[in-house]
Amino acid sequence: MTESDRASFHPGYWPSAWPVECGGNRRQKARSGRLDAASGRAEVVFRNTGRWDVMVIERGPGEWYAGGTMTAFTGPPPHGWVERIDPQSLEPTALSEELPCGDHVWCGAILAHANGCIYCVNGSYLHRLSPDCEVLGETRLPVDRSHNGLLALSDGTLVTKDLRLEGQGGTTISRLDAESLELVEAPLVLPEGSMGRIAADHGDGGDAIYVPGTEHLWRIDVRDRMQIAEGWRPRYREAGGDYGLAWDSCLSAGDAWLMDCGDIDSVRAIHGIEPNGRFRESPDKRLSWRSPAPWKGANRLLRISLSNGQVETLIPFGTTGGGIIAPPVHVPECQRAVCWDSLGGGLAGVDTSEQPMKLAWTLPVRPTMQPVVFPDSGELVINDFSETGSDDLIVVDLVSGALLDRVATGSRIANGMFLTPGGDRDVFYCSTLGMARVAWG
């Protein structure tokens, strides 16, 4: 692996290859080493949890933690949870108490901090837990809405944000002390709402936080305090136009990589009520991500320069009414960006060696998840929700687009959650009602 910011960019975290979602604040989703899926036979362990499993992270060697919430869209109040799991059986070896979430149902986040604690954001609450999942601290966040994404900055402070769709006002960014869970400064309110999770970068002058708004990509510079960057506000969509909102960004090779068309009907239903995701009557098919998109535009891959804000756009499929529930990835070692259309179907590899970028290959599959990549072996792992209703993991050659392997996870439900590389030719999978480990060892 040639890009130095891969495993080394973890200031603020416990020494680990995967202490936070996407492997680091730049959300490059990459792990060193080789998977070599085509040369091994995959074995699957599946655990039926009956919950909304969101992500798995690694603290120390062999210390794996899972976090998530409850699928309580109606009925008894929801709560968050964190557990330490056995990486082979996936069974819990330690489990937190029920963590308050302000009655919101949405996928939060967990991370392993430099101080050794596990932190969890869920709904409108932030919790600090010991390595044995004992609650050491709890705070209610300044805004009573669902929060998505939780990052540690290089100084160890924690940053999170609430989730707001178009027309719901400005998103609030909160920065907290990791020990006391108190606000370090007054929350910062953006001029726009924001749906996607935050990414961050670290330089000599401090940290920069990137927030996908409803029309622009915003940068917040963090020195002693947070401040919206002046003169850097690239626009990626017009309000009320033919395209939906962007999810998270991937920061790579001097650019931010995003896909738009993400606020599909199920997302609008969950965040159009308060508490978020709590319905008086069963929402039934309103929460299906397979519903037609509420716009006419095709899904777009967006490349935004982190220096001058120049926006380059590629439409990989051209299918009208495209939509996603997870962001893209860029792999500089392979000069490839990978994007997809969850609603219309299709996975695409994009050649980024020159500008303009150009389509390199496509596959007729239907991904929905946050993928992982192995640049050393040039492999991408992502899901394919098949026509038979099986949510499979597929392994794809990043350069050629060749399908190297397909493995059924045991899950019959696809969502936009996170894959995590285990470091032993294996990948952890999280979805609604179940989690799995797929190993090619």
Is residue 290, in this structure, part of any structural domain at all? Answer: no
The predicted-structure confidence for 57-80, as pLDDT tens digits, reads as follows 999 999 999 999 999 999 999 999
Residues with Cβ within 8 Å of residue 98, at least 6 apart in sequence: 79, 80, 81
Cβ-contact 109, 150 below 8 angstroms: yes
Any domain includes 4: no
Paired residues of 221 in beta bridges? 208, 227
DSSP three-state, residue 431: strand
Positive or negative, the CA dihedral 271, 263, 255, 34 is positive
**pLDDT at residue number 184:** 98
Q: What's the pLDDT at 5?
A: 40
At 203, is the pLDDT very low, low, confident or very high (cuts 50, 70, 90)?
confident
Round to whole Å and give the CA distance between 428 and 436: 6
pLDDT digits (tens, 9 = 90+) for 257-313: 999 999 999 999 999 999 999 999 988 888 899 899 999 999 999 999 999 999 999
CA distance linking residue 180 with residue 77, whole number of Å: 27
Q: Is residue 209 part of a domain?
A: yes
Model pLDDT, residue 95? 98
Residue 2 has pLDDT above 80, yes or no: no
Q: Is the pLDDT at 8 greater than 90, yes or no?
A: no
| 15 located within any domain | no
In this structure, is residue 2 part of a structural domain?
A: no
DSSP run (H or E) holding 271: helix 265-271
Q: Distance between CA 182 and CA 378 in Å, rounded?
A: 43
Please report whether residue 286 resides in a domain: no
Q: How many Cβ atoms are within 10 Å of 218's Cβ, its own excluded?
A: 22
- Does residue 400 fall inside a structural domain? yes
Residue 3 in this model has a pLDDT that exceeds 80: no
* 315 vs 299: CA distance, rounded Å: 6
- Return mean pLDDT, the chain: 95
- Paired strand residues for 336: 331, 351
- The enclosing domain of 152 has a CATH number of 2.130.10.10
The boundaries of the domain holding residue 147 are 21-279+296-439
For 123-134, b/e burial (b = at least 16 CB within 10 A) is: bbbbbbbebebe
| Max CA distance (Å), the chain | 54
Look at the chain and report how many structural domains it folds into: 1
DSSP secondary structure letter of residue 187: P
Question: Does the pLDDT of residue 199 top 70, yes or no?
Answer: yes
Alpha-carbon distances, residue 268 vs 143, 163, 225 (angstroms):
19, 11, 32
- Whole-number Å distance between alpha carbons of 405 and 415: 21
Helices and strands (DSSP H and E) totals, the chain: 1, 30
Q: Is residue 12 part of a domain?
A: no
Residues 6+ apart with CB under 8 A from 420: 18, 55, 56, 57, 58, 372, 427, 428, 430
